Amino acid sequence: MPIMTYLEAISDALRYEMRRDERVFLIGEDIGVYGGAFKVTKGFIEEFGPDRVLDAPISEAAIIGAAIGAALNGLRPVAEMQFMDFITNGFNQIVNVAGTTAYRWGIGVPIVIRGPSGGGVGANPFHSRNPENWFVHATGLKVVCPAFPSDAKGLLLAAIRDDNPVLFFEHKGLYRKIKEDVPEGEYVVPLGRARIVRSGNDATVVGYGSAVHMALEAAEQFAARGVSVEVLDIRTLVPFDEETVFTSVRKTGRVIIAHEAVLTGGFGGEVAARIAQNCFEWLDAPIIRVTAFDSPTPFAPTLEQAALPNAQSIASALESILKY
């Protein structure tokens, strides 16, 4: 298997699916001639042509609306948001149109809306947000947040083949930082299945996206002290694999939920509520959430790092629940 970065795995998935299925096309800002802001689609227009790699105007509502119309006419569009922060400009098209069409009309809307989210790279409040939970609250949408290159490829193939609208959040800080072996060719990871990336018995850290890597770093610190921490990657927020989470929590009795999105209204609150309802008898300590501050993402690197979660903040939470 070739070693790929997180970004290369996403690019590989798009290229593979476009070669396999002529109904798949891409639409977004600067994705064609320029190759995308992060070069995910570099070289695509030369291979697939401008009819399947569409450079769109700077209008997220138009991009998503066009994708919905194409999907309703038998195509399978993948719409790129240059930064997921600006997905709010197409919010009505996603939530009130794409998310309700299957219910209203009884037909699917096979679109994927993908793009970079997350902070840690000094990109200011307009290019650093984690808006995934807005779409978890809406109905009729699936929400995916991969943490590893192999999952990024496999989950993206599954998302493109799904007949429902899928929001695919790619953490920009992982694009070129994370590398691993990624299967070539056909490789599909089903939506709705969490993954235990590190087994343990003393505590569980549940996370997704960048927080998974923070959790692994914290778990390694505790391993040196003889403490076994299980790290669970949710991978898809909707559908949510609660049984895998419950099994881990019932085994360890202690749980931390970590994500880079802000605390209030974050997905961690939903996970905590379900654990409290279904695993209360097994808990030996309070559930703790480790998240970003409830604030816009600072531009100054020192302030941004202070506002975001990290391995040390997860380690501090682990100290607390292990002593409880």
pLDDT band, very low/low/confident/very high, at 241 (cuts 50, 70, 90)? very high
pLDDT in tens, 57-74: 999 999 999 999 999 999
DSSP for residue 209: T
Is residue 142 a contact partner of residue 135, using CB atoms and an 8 Å limit? no
Mean pLDDT of 9-21: 98
pLDDT in tens, 160-215: 999 999 999 999 999 999 999 999 999 999 999 999 999 999 999 999 999 999 99
Listed in sequence order, the residues at least 6 apart from 162 whose beta carbon sits closer than 8 Å to its beta carbon are 110, 142, 191
Among the options 127, 171, 213, 259, which is catalytic?
A: 127
The closest of 73, 68, 89, 309 to 212, measured between CA atoms, is 309
Specify whether 127 is catalytic.
yes
- Alpha-carbon Rg for the chain, nearest whole angstrom, is 19
- What is the distance, to the nearest Å, from the Cα of residue 249 to the centroid of all Cα atoms in its chain? 22
Region of poorest pLDDT, from 23-37, 90-104, 116-130:
116-130
Give the per-residue pLDDT at 134.
Answer: 97
Please, what's the largest Cα pairwise distance for the chain? 60
User: Which two three-digit tokens encode residue 66?
Assistant: 């066009």
Listed in sequence order, the residues at least 6 apart from 106 whose beta carbon sits closer than 8 Å to its beta carbon are none
Give the per-residue pLDDT at 290.
Answer: 98
DSSP string, 21-58: -TTEEEEETT-SSS--TTSTTTTHHHHH-TTTEEEPPS
Is residue 140 a contact partner of residue 100, using CB atoms and an 8 Å limit? yes
Q: Which domains does the chain have, with CATH numbers?
A: 3-181 (3.40.50.970), 195-323 (3.40.50.920)
pLDDT band, very low/low/confident/very high, at 131 (cuts 50, 70, 90)? very high
Give the per-residue pLDDT at 125.
Answer: 87
pLDDT band, very low/low/confident/very high, at 56 (cuts 50, 70, 90)? very high
> In sequence order, what are the beta bridge partners of 292?
262
